[in-house]
Amino acid sequence: MPLSPARRHHVAGGALALLVLCGTAVTAATAGSGADPSSASAARAPGSDRGPVLDGSTILWPEDGQSAVELVGAGAPEARGEQRPVPIASLTKVMTAHVILREHPLRPGEPGPQIEADPQAAHEVAVGGESTVPLQAGRTYSQRQLLELTLIPSGNNAARLLARWDSGSQDAFVEKMRREAARLGMDRSTYTGASGIETTTASTAVDQLKLAREAMKDPVLREIVASRSVTVPGIGPVTNTNSLLDTPGVVGLKTGSSTPAGGNLLWACEVRTGGTTRLLLGAVLHQRAGTTPGEGIHEALESSRRLVTDLRDRLSSARTGS
């Protein structure tokens, strides 16, 4: 249920509102609510408010679902909506790729080991209602190519093939996903598969920012999610499902949609503020859930576009004092 207008601009449970102002932080306690340690933050560490920060009360939040934004290095996230776990669909693949790269690091431009597509990966191409890529049984693909097929056109069968390659089974790989979520402090997230097709894989907007912050440290993952398209031999050109990449400054991350999950988008944008280029992260979840995946992802993309553009412009102008 959407929050009332009086509360919708604040983190669930109450957080501090911080002005987008270079070198200045003005705080105001959210009226009528107590601190909730499960929300983005009930307090900020000393010194964390130096430089431009985000004011949750003035952000152009999506009206639906839940959202969170963070300017990396400038304090805790700001969030809107109840931070309760909801299905995240293919946002799951960010964790899948992150775990694969932790287990099997690649250098930029390095293809990595060759991985043979098994009959299961080929059979899953014909599975209805899933986003898959045309993997051919017996054909080999590099680790980099399978990561591209997982993150760019959102191939469920590519994600599950990577999981089996790494751990022998998807179930064993999921245990690694869960351990990594725990390591990152994602205490409101549950992973039950590598692709996100399961509605039991659920998270919150604030938890997804914890993952995004860590995942974007890897230059290979960062390269892939910023790619508008790639060409994979034997498959051909594939286009990124994230049309937000057309927005200036946006450098990733990942879409996800289904009828129960609605539209979901985890995004990253580079902004120039205070003479420094910084990473602005956002998560928009559960948009128009219960409708069609197409309606949900359209809403997630459009509301994120408004959010990114407004925050980018205001943060950029803050450095000149205008």
Catalogue the active-site residues. 90, 93, 154
Q: Is 170 helix (H, G, I), strand (E, B) or coil?
A: helix
- 254 assigned to a ligand binding site: yes
The torsion angles phi and psi of 77, rounded to 5 degrees, stand at -65, 155
The CA-atom distances, in angstroms, between 201 and each of 87, 93, 124, 219, 287 are: 6, 11, 20, 26, 17
Q: Is 114 helix (H, G, I), strand (E, B) or coil?
A: strand
CA dihedral of residues 72, 76, 78, 79 (deg, nearest 10):
110
Nearest to 134 by CA among 157, 118, 113: 157
Report cis status (omega within 30 of 0) of the bond before 253.
yes
Q: Which helix (H) or strand (E) holds 273?
A: strand 262-273
From the annotation, which residues make up the binding site for substrate? Answer: 254
From the annotation, which residues make up the binding site? Answer: 254
